[in-house]
């Protein structure tokens, strides 16, 4: 692989352009492509370029620029949300999308700088660099709220054999495996050593073997008395926000109602709508007619109508100050009140920066800043994630849209185990790009980690029922107009405390990084 070393001899913008392009190619392993060997090899090349960087500056900028290309290729679709909101938001689109890619890549740059700073004392440079990159990815997923989108472990398609070790180590453990394999591959290729290559292959085959064993004797069981209907109606977020087309919103809602009443409703216990189905505040008088229509639809099937699970905004009036707006999942029954009775709610805790919350808070909002998703300053985050107790369903966890990307967010109780996860999402913001594919793959990993089924209802995204192994029981593709009927799979045994496991792995890496340094010093 002398070509890579020749590329490293380049100077100036040509070298950094190559770094950016190499990073960009790294997206091949992520959804929807999942050509994971390419991403592993790209990481190996980046490790090599950092390892032979002659200066601290070069090492930093190699990690920074390669990382920028890598992350830009994953998040470019964020621009679709600004395009949907119209001209008033387009000007800030390149600043935020480009700035986000640079910010995410900064941890790679720091990792490269730290590595180069201590390179002369490192006995196992590539492994050390893999540990540093893992710590960088861990920081990316946690610092200032974190943005753990497309961690390295997500290159393995959720539900297949290579993804199953996430049930033990979580997505962070799987990400460490990917980085270690890349490091061993780099050492094998550029130091012409067979043993590291054999170890890399051994890690992949061990992971493959565990996954095959875990999936070999699967026999799904289902929760008695639970029959779900997930309603999927395609729509354009941009057209829906067009003030010159006010009738479209009610037309979309009517389509949801019509699909909810598809044949077989008499057997359904719970009807689920995605985030984005209702644009506004469901419990306000403006939507009384909608609630009445939905109640009449559900009651037409049976004397005991299905429970309606729906997402909407919610407001708490504060006479002494500003009102609090929440992104909320509601459960409504129509047994007694024709307008519906709220029997359970779950507020969103993890809010999307600029999409639902303005960084800088009230100070920035004074200048008229508004979030992309609504004509308000910021939503209010829930103080904590709580267990969801919806009549007719086991104890669950509702994770709205963006929340599902956070491993370990599922709440825990000493007396109750979470038996299922509901992910309501509005992927219509993502347009026709790869965002919905990536989002769905990430969501499926939560099912593997928590060992519970995940019910996903996503506007213009993948909706369906996912078993505790991350596999679809049934699903609808993006932009499908479909009502999905399914039973609820049972959960597996109690899951592991993933938030603690990810921190433990990070701590172990932090301890291991100096060990190669000491070994070289002792020689």
Spatial CA neighbour of 206 closest among 256, 165, 149:
165
Say what angle helices 56-75 and 36-51 make with each other, to 10 degrees: 160
Place of tokens 């991350």: 470
The backbone torsions φ and ψ at residue 76, rounded to the nearest 5 degrees and listed phi first, read -60, -30
Number of Cβ atoms within 10 Å of the Cβ of 387: 18
SS3 383: coil
Pull the structure tokens for residue 362. 């009230």
The C-alpha atoms of residue 269 and residue 254 are separated, in whole angstroms, by 21
Residues in CB range of 440: below 8 A, 6 or more apart: 31, 456, 458, 461, 462
Q: Where are the alpha helices (DSSP H) in 375-461?
A: 435-450
**Per-residue pLDDT, 200:** 96
> CB-based contacts of 79: which residues, under 8 Å, 6+ apart?
93, 94, 97
Residues 370/376, Cβ–Cβ less than 8 Å: yes
Tokens, residue 396: 């669950």
pLDDT in tens, 393-418: 999 999 999 999 999 999 888 778 89
Query: Which pairing describes strands 482-489 and 472-476: parallel, antiparallel, or unpaired?
Result: unpaired
Contact 260, 483 (CB under 8 A): yes
Radius of gyration of the chain from its Cα atoms, rounded to whole angstroms: 24
pLDDT given for residue 121 in this prediction: 66
What are the CA-CA distances from residue 349 to residues 174, 326, 409 (Å)?
A: 26, 9, 10
Beta strand 307-316 pairing with 270-272? parallel
- Tell me the per-residue pLDDT of 294-346, one tens digit each, with 9 for 90 and over: 999 988 766 689 999 999 999 988 877 778 889 999 999 998 888 999 999 99
Angle at 316 between CA 367 and CA 287, to 5 degrees: 100
Q: Which residues of the chain have pLDDT under 70?
A: 1, 120-122, 301-303, 360-377, 495-496, 498-499, 515-523
Query: Ramachandran region of residue 396, left (φ > 0), alpha (ψ -120 to 50) or beta?
Result: beta
* Beta sheet of 482-489, edge-to-edge order: 341-347, 324-333, 307-316, 270-272, 222-232, 482-489
User: Are 443 and 160 contacting, i.e. CB atoms less than 8 angstroms apart?
Assistant: no
Q: What is the pLDDT of residue 374?
A: 64
The b/e string for 262-279 (b: 16+ C-beta within 10 A; e otherwise) is eeebeebbbbbbbbbbbb
DSSP states along 200-234: HHHHHHHHHHHHHHHHHT----EEEEEEEEEEE--
pLDDT at 210: 95
pLDDT tens-digit map of 463-480: 999 999 999 999 999 999
Which pLDDT belongs to residue 523? 47
Please report the pLDDT score of residue 285 as a whole number. Answer: 78
Residue carrying structure tokens 């639970």: 226
CA 464 to CA 451: how far, in whole Å? 17
b/e per residue 126-153 (b: at least 16 CB within 10 A): bbbbbbbbbbbbbbbbbeeeebbbbbbb
Q: At what angle do helices 36-51 and 13-25 cross, to 10 degrees?
A: 150
Domain annotation for the chain: domains and CATH numbers: 2-213+501-522 (no CATH), 228-349+384-492 (3.60.110.10)
Tokens of residue 311, six digits? 């997402």
Beta bridge partners of residue 424, listed in sequence order: 457
The per-residue pLDDT for range 114-144, each reduced to its tens digit, is: 999 887 666 788 999 999 999 999 999 998 8
């Amino acid at each position: 692989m002398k070509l890579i070393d020749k590329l490293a001899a380049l100077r100036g913008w040509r070298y950094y352009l190559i770094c950016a392009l190499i990073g960009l190619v790294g997206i091949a392993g992520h959804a929807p492509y999942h050509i994971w060997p390419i991403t592993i090899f790209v990481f190996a090349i980046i490790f090599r370029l950092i390892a032979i960087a002659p200066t601290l500056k070069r090492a930093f900028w190699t990690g920074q620029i390669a990382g920028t290309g890598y992350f830009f290729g994953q998040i470019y679709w964020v621009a679709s949300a600004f395009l949907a909101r119209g001209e008033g938001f387009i000007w800030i689109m390149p600043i935020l999308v480009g700035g986000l890619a640079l910010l995410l890549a900064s941890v790679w740059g720091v990792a490269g700088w730290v590595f180069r700073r201590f390179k002369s004392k490192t006995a196992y440079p590539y492994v050390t660099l893999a540990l540093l990159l893992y710590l960088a990815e861990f920081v990316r997923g946690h610092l200032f709220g974190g943005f753990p989108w497309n961690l390295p472990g997500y290159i393995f398609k959720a539900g297949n054999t290579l993804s199953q070790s996430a049930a033990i180590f979580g997505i962070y453990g799987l990400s460490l495996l990917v980085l270690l394999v890349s490091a061993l591959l780099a050492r094998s290729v550029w130091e012409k050593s067979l043993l590291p290559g054999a170890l890399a292959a051994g890690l992949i085959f061990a992971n493959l073997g565990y996954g095959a064993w875990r999936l070999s004797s699967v026999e799904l069981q289902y929760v008695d008395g639970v029959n779900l209907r997930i309603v999927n109606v395609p729509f354009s977020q941009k057209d829906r926000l067009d003030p010159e087309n006010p009738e479209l919103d009610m037309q979309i809602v009517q389509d949801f109602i019509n699909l909810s009443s598809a044949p077989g409703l008499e057997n359904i216990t719970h009807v689920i709508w995605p985030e984005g189905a209702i644009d506004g505040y469901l419990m306000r008088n403006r939507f009384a007619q909608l609630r009445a229509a939905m109640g009449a639809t559900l009651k037409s099937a049976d004397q005991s109508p299905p429970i309606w699970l729906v997402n909407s905004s919610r407001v708490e009036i504060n006479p002494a100050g500003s009102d609090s707006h929440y992104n909320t999942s509601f459960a409504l029954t129509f047994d007694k009140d024709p307008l519906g009775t709220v029997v359970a709610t779950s507020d969103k805790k993890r809010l999307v920066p600029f999409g639902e919350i303005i960084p800088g808070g009230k100070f920035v909002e004074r200048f008229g800043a508004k979030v992309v998703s609504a004509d308000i300053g910021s939503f209010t985050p829930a103080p904590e994630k709580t267990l969801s107790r919806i009549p007719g369903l086991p104890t669950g966890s509702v994770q709205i849209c963006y929340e599902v990307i956070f491993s370990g967010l599922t709440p825990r109780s000493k007396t109750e185990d979470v038996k299922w996860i509901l992910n309501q999402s509005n992927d219509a913001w993502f347009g026709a790009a790869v965002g919905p594919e990536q989002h769905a793959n990430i969501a499926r990993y939560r099912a593997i980690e928590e060992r519970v089924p995940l019910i996903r209802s996503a506007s213009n995204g993948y909706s369906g029922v996912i078993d505790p192994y991350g596999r679809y029981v049934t699903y609808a593709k993006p932009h499908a107009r479909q009502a999905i009927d399914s039973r609820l799979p049972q959960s597996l045994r109690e899951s592991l405390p993933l938030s603690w496991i990810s921190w433990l792995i990070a701590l172990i890496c932090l301890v291991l990084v100096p060990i190669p340094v000491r070994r070289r010093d002792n020689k």
